[in-house]
Structure 1
């Protein structure tokens, strides 16, 4: 994986702007610690940081192809899993290649098919192509939004980057936030609106979209979307199709010139992928390495709750033994989590989900010592409708995003002045209605089926991008690549139309996936109930963040103070609140600490 950034201008010369471009590119060194590349012309400046995974010599970027005097230049982040098939097609059409990299295949795909090349890609990617022939910049992003990409228009100059920090290194882009941005931060939390860059006049290329810019203006196209139609296959065919997709995509995603490992929680999703990958490894006489995460005193402190039914570690060890992997459990303590709380915020340039995100970062930091690429079970719950919310009336009947029902504590601690200026309930309902209007309806469904389809759409298009972004930023902060086989768009669009009754065959969530993994996993592992990503129960962590929050409240210069009800937050922090305590308090304090640091470190100007 890599980081990309750049700047295009139709009105000024950029050929002497190397210092600005290098500053932008160096802000994302963590995404590509292996090398830096820059390319400048009269109208365009493209930067690239590279993490070498495939073809160390042949995949250098930005990559340039000349057609006569005109340069077509690519800066690309990601992996194209079907690049070998595309390469064969392109060779058949007369193209010649100097390397074995997927980068060169993408560039030649653009040369052959233009903007339509993006419709032929299967992978995780974000890329920029500057085409001097027509003086056009194209920004493209993968189907589900695994790889990030932002842009801003400043005086008809287009500035873009994998991360917001790359854009803030440009003299024309300042970190300014207005009412909409604050509504995202305090009204939606970390699960934000697709396309919303949060900062004023900064946008995100939406998943499944590309944007082109010329002197005359911009054009945005959606090249992929979910389409509803009756599911044509019977149960056995559906199971075998799912199994076939997963075997195919896991094999494709094991391709790398650097070590590949697998995340293994002992849950259904990561266990099944590990079993498929382990089988592929054994065919080549190799042994797959797997990693899980645990917390100090977790066995002593663990308490069963709505999302976590049992401990992961015994299950991870069982699957490792069954598949034959070399397994490591990374054990974290409360001090490590507290000391690194702000690292994920700095990785995404926005407040996130606290210690759950911090633990991911620390896990990847350990994994990166022995590998460069990992497989992850991310997104299975979204595309297989595996969350409990799909089956509970409270969430199915809600007129806002279902996860916001669990965030009511946030609105209760905001200052009255902020509440009056933002009108967060209206903002939440407007964003929900936007998503609702996008849902591709299927005629003839029952009322319950229609509600479950809407719920599925919310999770795939709103919740999943947050989960993917969380994993991308936490991994890339350590120069480590994570691949997500369940995000193969072919699998996602196939599952979109599988009836939820079939998905939950055998009376259990993701029952059809459990059937697809038959023969790969022990029976008790296949039918283990879902347990969410682990979270520390160590009281010491809550004590650490509580002390931190009290310091913020006692410091009159803390930038968050005008936005919160200080006495309510103090009550929660001191454990005196009757409505918010324990794990809810921990999550809230994590978030507020990040917001305060974000406002301060990024020197954000707030316009209300």
Structure 2
């Protein structure tokens, strides 16, 4: 993995702009701690920060290729998992290669197929290619959006980068929030996407774009396709297992140490099992990592999202697979001290301790490895969350994860849907309910329908689409920013687009076979996991249950609410937030309060550190 950035201008000579390019690239040094590179021409300036994973010598970037009088320049972040097959195909078409890198394969794929090259890739990627002959910039992002890419078009300039901070380092771009940006920060908290600041856009997953002096052509190159599923139950389970086996094997390719994350749940255990089998064939032992928290197990209280503790299942899986296991215990002090790390990594306030703990876990893993495989996204692909199985939530006319958080009938004033942490001015300006309703309706309008599908299956197709396109990006962003903040590459086998497309059309009754969430995936993992783990009920990513963490963020939130100079004050309902933070009864506050405290703390620091201006 790496960080990329660049600047195109059809009216300004950029050949002497390396100093500015270095400023932009420097913001991405955590993503690419091993090497930096620059390429400049009169109209294009490209930069690269490299994390070495494949071909340390041959994969230097930006990479160029000159054919006659024409030069092509590439800056690329990601991994093309099928690059070996593509290299052989390209060799059969008279291409020659000087390196063993997937970077060179990507560049030659563009030479061979032009902008259609993206349809040949299996991987996670965000890249930009400058075509000197056409005087055009081509950018693309992987199918599910595992790797980020932002861009801005201002006058004759195109500025792009892996993270928003790279664009903000350019003098043409200012940290200005308009209504859309304010809504992204203060309304659609449980969704991701967008450039937040005025003029900055995020390239959608599965999209590409071509920029020339005369035009901009933004378009999708990959979309989910709905059609009848014709495989029977046994064939379906076998095909899922075959796809995952192939995907994990491809994603273990690296010239640096590879490990897996292991929570003791179905998804990470399945990935770890497949990885361990590949390691065993090479007489190697897989290293696995799990996270735990100080003082959490003794304070654990099970709920619908987290019905059980991970540790016993982690220990069982590590023993079953014979892995070299590492249990990483995160302290409450470290969680509090690093609470602003997610905000700085995302360039916006984010999910608090859930992200901070990942950062601390990845920081330890990075000491021994460069690549880790994760079970992320299986719940979105196969339907693992409780909200896939709750009739009230399924039938609610909104995003299911929002409906699930609202709870049922309750006299708890802090959990009522109408209770808002926004100030009256912000509520009047942003109209939160109308905005959420519009986002929901826009998402439903995109769903690829299946003609003749029954009402129940059609609704479940909608639920899956909402999760894949509106909720999954939130988690993929979390995984990318927290891993890249430590210089670790995290790969996600369940985001293989072949698997996602296949599972998309499996009927709900088959997905939930055996009357359990992700039933078809459990069938696929039959024989490679112990039954206690294979049939373990879904338990979400763990959080700290240490009361000391709650006390720390409550106190921090109150100090912000009482600070007359705190930049967040105009945006929040001070009375509501203060009462929530002061309330001693944890049952009344509810788990959602901890997220809100984390978020307010980050948002306040973000407004200050980024010198945000509201338009």
| TM-score relative to the length of structure 2 | 0.97
Distance in 1 between residues matched to 2:590 and 2:440, nearest whole Å: 29
**Equivalent residue for 1:541, pick from 544, 549, 560:** 549
1:232 positional shift: 1.2
2:397 equivalent in structure 1? 399
**Equivalent residue for 1:444, pick from 445, 449, 452:** 452
2:43 equivalent in structure 1? 43
Q: Deviations over 1:400-459 (max 9, x none)?
A: 212223266796121111111111111111111111000011122222111111000000
Q: More deviation in 101-110 or 388-397?
A: 388-397
Contact persistence 1:260–1:372 (CA under 8 A)? yes
1:426 to 1:577, Cα distance in 2 relative to 1, 3 A: farther
After TM superposition, list the pairs within 5 Å mapping 1:228-307 onto structure 2: 228-307=226-305
Distance in 1 between residues matched to 2:391 and 2:451, nearest whole Å: 22
1:63 equivalent in structure 2? 63
**Equivalent residue for 1:338, pick from 336, 339, 355:** 336
Distance in 2 between residues matched to 1:152 and 1:207, nearest whole Å: 17
CA RMSD of aligned residues (A): 1.3
Contact persistence 1:263–1:376 (CA under 8 A)? yes
2:517 equivalent in structure 1? 509
1:572 equivalent in structure 2? 580
Distance in 2 between residues matched to 1:199 and 1:75, nearest whole Å: 24
1:370 equivalent in structure 2? 368
1:221 positional shift: 1.5
Contact persistence 2:190–2:471 (CA under 8 A)? no
Q: Deviations over 1:135-170 (max 9, x none)?
A: 100110000000000000111200000000000110
1:116 positional shift: 0.1
1:551 equivalent in structure 2? 559
1:560 equivalent in structure 2? 568
After TM superposition, list the pairs within 5 Å mapping 1:34-113 onto structure 2: 34-113=34-113
Q: More deviation in 474-483 or 176-185?
A: 176-185
1:484 equivalent in structure 2? 492
1:31 match: secondary structure: coil
1:412 match: secondary structure: coil
- List gaps (5 residues or longer) in structure 2: 407-415
1:434 aligns with 2:432: no
Contact persistence 1:2–1:48 (CA under 8 A)? yes
Contact persistence 1:263–1:375 (CA under 8 A)? yes
2:204 match: secondary structure: coil
2:591 match: secondary structure: helix
After TM superposition, list the pairs within 5 Å mapping 1:129-144 onto structure 2: 129-144=129-144
Contact persistence 1:575–1:581 (CA under 8 A)? yes
Q: More deviation in 197-206 or 573-582?
A: 573-582
Distance in 2 between residues matched to 1:319 and 1:443, nearest whole Å: 43
Distance in 2 between residues matched to 1:410 and 1:273, nearest whole Å: 41
1:30 match: secondary structure: coil
Distance in 1 between residues matched to 2:419 and 2:49, nearest whole Å: 40
2:461 match: secondary structure: helix
1:82 to 1:511, Cα distance in 2 relative to 1, 3 A: same
Distance in 2 between residues matched to 1:570 and 1:142, nearest whole Å: 43
1:398 positional shift: 2.1
Distance in 2 between residues matched to 1:42 and 1:411, nearest whole Å: 55
After TM superposition, list the pairs within 5 Å mapping 1:125-204 onto structure 2: 125-192=125-192, 194=193, 196-204=194-202
Distance in 2 between residues matched to 1:413 and 1:161, nearest whole Å: 33
1:122 equivalent in structure 2? 122
Distance in 2 between residues matched to 1:161 and 1:437, nearest whole Å: 30
Distance in 2 between residues matched to 1:273 and 1:586, nearest whole Å: 31
Q: Deviations over 1:196-244 (max 9, x none)?
A: 2111121000000001100002001111011111101011110110000
Distance in 2 between residues matched to 1:561 and 1:403, nearest whole Å: 28
1:532 aligns with 2:530: no
1:399 positional shift: 2.1
Question: How many residue pairs get matched?
Answer: 605
Q: Deviations over 1:510-545 (max 9, x none)?
A: 111111111111111110111000011111001111
Distance in 2 between residues matched to 1:93 and 1:470, nearest whole Å: 40
Q: Deviations over 1:370-401 (max 9, x none)?
A: 00000000010000011111122222222221
2:594 equivalent in structure 1? 586
Q: Deviations over 1:562-608 (max 9, x none)?
A: 0111121111111169996142221110011111111111000111x
Distance in 2 between residues matched to 1:393 and 1:528, nearest whole Å: 22
- List gaps (5 residues or longer) in structure 1: none
1:190 positional shift: 4.3
Q: Deviations over 1:275-302 (max 9, x none)?
A: 1100110110100000000011222011
Contact persistence 1:187–1:411 (CA under 8 A)? no
Contact persistence 1:186–1:410 (CA under 8 A)? no
Contact persistence 1:20–1:170 (CA under 8 A)? yes
Contact persistence 2:126–2:148 (CA under 8 A)? yes
1:70 positional shift: 2.4
| TM-score relative to the length of structure 1 | 0.98
Q: Deviations over 1:245-290 (max 9, x none)?
A: 0000000000000000000000000001101100110110100000
Distance in 2 between residues matched to 1:283 and 1:165, nearest whole Å: 43
Contact persistence 2:297–2:545 (CA under 8 A)? no
1:68 positional shift: 2.2
2:71 match: secondary structure: strand
Q: More deviation in 155-164 or 442-451?
A: 442-451
Distance in 1 between residues matched to 2:154 and 2:323, nearest whole Å: 51
Distance in 2 between residues matched to 1:293 and 1:114, nearest whole Å: 44
Contact persistence 1:243–1:516 (CA under 8 A)? yes
Q: Deviations over 1:4-53 (max 9, x none)?
A: 00000001100111110000001000000000001100000000000000
Q: Deviations over 1:86-117 (max 9, x none)?
A: 00110000000000000000000001100000
